[in-house]
Structure 1
Amino acid sequence: MIKGLYEAHLPVSDLNRSIEFYEGLGLEFDHKVEDRLAFLWIIKDQNWLGLWQTDKVEVEYHPSIRHIAFEVSLEGLKHSVTWLTNKGYTPREAFGFEPSEPFVMPNPNGGFGHAKIHFNDPDGNSLEFICKVSNPADLTERMYLSEWEELSGWSRK
């Protein structure tokens, strides 16, 4: 029945500023509704992000709200800190890892992990770039991506 995630929504305080921010990430603007809601394609005709202008963006952050993870390629993720910084966006600390490079959280069921980097939009909504990575060595500890590649044996040197 379910084939994927079609849309997600975030609260924003300045719709036009947020449209510009998300276009800078590569999302494609589609349309506005009454100057309080905008839709941008994450992947054209597959899934999009709705931005709702509101004065209620100060709701305290919690991972269950105000968070979106964008799937990226491993190569893209490896260059994400530089890519974000060059665009004027600031990667941030997450799960005890400084944003010097992406880090990996192993899946507790084994076989793979999730490599990721976190950052915020102008309203403090939590965003991340993430991709699945193999775990042939059955690593169980969280670590930076460069360490994961070296220890798991799939580093491309």
Structure 2
Amino acid sequence: MKNAKIYETHVHTKNLETAINFYESLGLRIAFIIEDRRVAFFYLGEEGSREQMLGVWEVRKEEFTKSHFAFSATYEELLNIPNYLKEKGITLRPSFGLKPTEPIVHSWMPAASYYFYDPDGNSLEYITLLEGEPIPQLGPVHLSTWLKHNENPQS
């Protein structure tokens, strides 16, 4: 199992149609909707790719639980995420005590991220792995701080 990849993940929603509109606005493609089960499946990735899937299940209020997952992005894509989400009316959120004025770096990995919520409050993230060695003692920091401490800045 160590070489396994995650094929699909699932989140709950309180309103399937709202969730479908939201995830389509992020560029996910409908794979299939099962109306009587109130679930929509989306393909992620390039057009025609079926290597990753997201399932969005409408549940009753008392069954609703929030989730978290991350979308992989290139370094260049990550730098454009604030504009991309702003155009869609989606607000970035602070994380780890840091404002979303620039990507937040998990220095133990290292990886840079932006965080936001879907309409149901599920925590979503765009993330890219960074070049360079981990510096776990830095903790979560903004990208500019990471770059000052890293000898191999992104190209």
For 1:153 and 1:57, how far apart are their aligned partners in 2?
50
Seq. identity, %: 35
Over 3 Å counting, the alpha-carbon distance change for 1:58 and 1:123 in structure 2 is farther
Partner residue in 2 for 1:17:
18
2:88 corresponds to = 87
Which residue is 1:76 aligned to? 77
**Would you say the 8 A contact 1:118–1:129 is kept in 2?**
yes
* Contact in 2 for aligned 1:139/1:152 (Cα 8 Å): no
CA RMSD of aligned residues (A): 2.1
Name the amino acid aligned to 1:56: K
Q: How does 1:8-157 map to 2 (within 5 A)?
A: 8-35=9-36, 36-43=38-45, 44-56=49-61, 59=64, 61=66, 66-107=67-108, 112-136=109-133, 138=135, 140-141=137-138, 142-155=140-153
* Secondary structure of the structure 2 residue equivalent to 1:79: helix
Structure 1 pair 149/30, CA: closer, same or farther in 2 (3 Å)? Answer: same
AA at the equivalent of 1:51: V
CA drift of 1:134 comes to: 2.0
1:20 to 1:138, Cα distance in 2 relative to 1, 3 A: same
Retained in 1: the 8 A contact 2:110–2:134?
no
3-state secondary structure, aligned to 1:134: coil
Residue 7 of structure 2 is matched in structure 1 by 6
TM-score (norm 2): 0.85
Ranges in structure 1 where 5+ consecutive residues have no aligned partner: none
TM (norm. structure 1) is 0.84
Rate the CA distance shift 1:46–1:60 in 2: closer, same or farther, 3 A.
Answer: closer
Q: 8 Å contact 1:70–1:128 — kept in the other structure?
A: yes
Shift of 1:131: 1.2
The change in CA–CA distance for 1:69 and 1:123 in structure 2 (over 3 A counts) is same
Structure with the bigger percentage of helix: 2
Q: Distance in 1 between matches of 2:137 and 2:114?
A: 19
